[in-house]
Amino acid sequence: MPDGEGAPRAAAGRRAPAEKRVRIKVIGIGGAGVNAIDRLVQDGFDQVGLLAINTDSQALTNCMVADKLQIGDRITHGLGAGGDPDVGRQAAIEDAEAIEEAVRGYDLIFIAAGLGGGTGTGASPVIAKAARAQGALVLALVTLPFVYEGKPRERVAQGGLAALQDAADAVICIANDKLYDLAGEEASVQQGFAPTDAFLSGGVRKIWRMLTFTGLINIDFADLRAVLRRRGGETLIGFGDGAGSDKVARAIEGAFGSPLLSDPEVLRRAECALVAVTHGPDFKMSQYGEMMKTVNEKLGPQAACKLGPIVDEDCQDQVSLLIIASTGKPIESAASRSGRTLDGAIQTSSLNPTAPSHAFARGKGKFQQGVLNLNEVSRGAFEGADRTVVDGEDLDLPTFIRRNVQLRQR
């Protein structure tokens, strides 16, 4: 398994010192949300706080997560919200104090939920709001119902999504149909749901790793916040792993084949992106270059990118690629306050000053810039025309970039 973030491995990697570590909690809300964090437990991922919240006491009992919170007992008598988001919302409001207690003292809170039902749809916005009020950055990973579940459920889900978008810093939203497409027509119902859980738990684990391991160029919490706290737009995430001789191609295929990044049009509108590449010490610069070239091409010309290569000793002959992008506009005040905006062209201020760039300098003089500037690499005038590819090189990309020629004015 190419994943390097399983519990035993993680201990061997280069971890940030304890006091710098970002405090993270993952909260699964409602049936689908609880299933997703169950999956995290199954995968042996226990580096972060996990909490299962539901109105249905029986579903909670069956769940493997140690930390559980049953809400709205007085309204539902432990029988679930019956598909009514109002009940879900009331239930969360009723147990506001317990929720507040549960979300206190965290830097980053993930909310995993399936929209369209009662608890996930109704309670999630309330919980997100409470978490934000406690100072956490709130990232919600939610799924939309299958089309066959009908229009009413779809409307409920859309209402919940809107409320959640108001309440959370960022919402990553995937339609179940898309995930099901990925699983293939022949997948059984249970297999059909498995990708949902895998997607939610995979996203959480990859982000955790990105924040926890110190990379050659460090992507830190402030960078994540800069991407997530934006005005409007969509938040996109994709990840892929690869091992062996074709690991680069596999990781790229996985990341850009994932349901949120598979639409090239949306990707092209991305305003900013975090690109984390976790690889073993044997990873070659040429492979890194190949990966970045593809990422370059897929993202729009205006996207400001921050790249973070992370070396994990245990990832011998493996590579994993995580891309988080947003099509939203920057929030001026928040950006200037954090002083780490990713907006606009390459800015050295978006570089972590403590992050060493000498690691690149060692690579035969290649990639000497601390951060590769992906934001302006564009097909521009050649949009709509066939690419000019000679011996595997895309000649539409500027020669000076492909040849790594340094300019004075950049």
* Chain residues that interact with other proteins, rule: CB under 8 A: 345, 376-378, 380-382, 384-386, 388, 390, 395-396, 398-401, 403, 405, 407-410
- Residue 95's identity, in one-letter code, is D
Q: How far is the CB of 304 from other proteins (least distance, A)?
A: 13
- How many Å apart are CA 127 and CA 33, to the nearest integer? 13
- Choice between 244 and 380, CB closer to other proteins: 380
- Choice between 61 and 368, CB closer to other proteins: 368
- How many Å apart are CA 237 and CA 260, to the nearest integer? 6
Q: How far is the CB of 406 from other proteins (least distance, A)?
A: 9
Q: How far is the CB of 403 from other proteins (least distance, A)?
A: 6
**Gyration radius of the chain's alpha carbons:** 21
Q: How far is the CB of 380 from other proteins (least distance, A)?
A: 5
- Choice between 220 and 396, CB closer to other proteins: 396
What is the DSSP track for 105-165?
T-SEEEEEEETTSSHHHHHHHHHHHHHHHTT-EEEEEEEEPPGGG-HHHHHHHHHHHHHHH
Q: How far is the CB of 390 from other proteins (least distance, A)?
A: 6
Q: How far is the CB of 399 from other proteins (least distance, A)?
A: 4
Residues forming beta bridges with residue 15, ordered by sequence position? 213
- Choice between 364 and 403, CB closer to other proteins: 403
Q: How far is the CB of 21 from other proteins (least distance, A)?
A: 37
- Choice between 146 and 382, CB closer to other proteins: 382
Closest CA to 319 of 286, 361, 291, 299: 291
What's the N-to-C CA distance of the chain in angstroms? Answer: 41
- How many Å apart are CA 260 and CA 11, to the nearest integer? 31
Q: How far is the CB of 386 from other proteins (least distance, A)?
A: 6
Tokens of 96: 């506001």
Q: How far is the CB of 391 from other proteins (least distance, A)?
A: 8
- Choice between 354 and 409, CB closer to other proteins: 409
- How many Å apart are CA 217 and CA 173, to the nearest integer? 29
- Choice between 19 and 386, CB closer to other proteins: 386
* Strand locations in 191-349 (E): 230-231, 235-243, 272-279, 304-311, 318-326, 329-330
- Length of the chain (residues): 410
- Choice between 358 and 403, CB closer to other proteins: 403
Q: Is the dihedral of CA 99, 102, 108, 114 positive or negative?
A: negative
Closest CA to 40 of 92, 99, 112: 112
- How many Å apart are CA 410 and CA 177, to the nearest integer? 44
- Choice between 286 and 388, CB closer to other proteins: 388
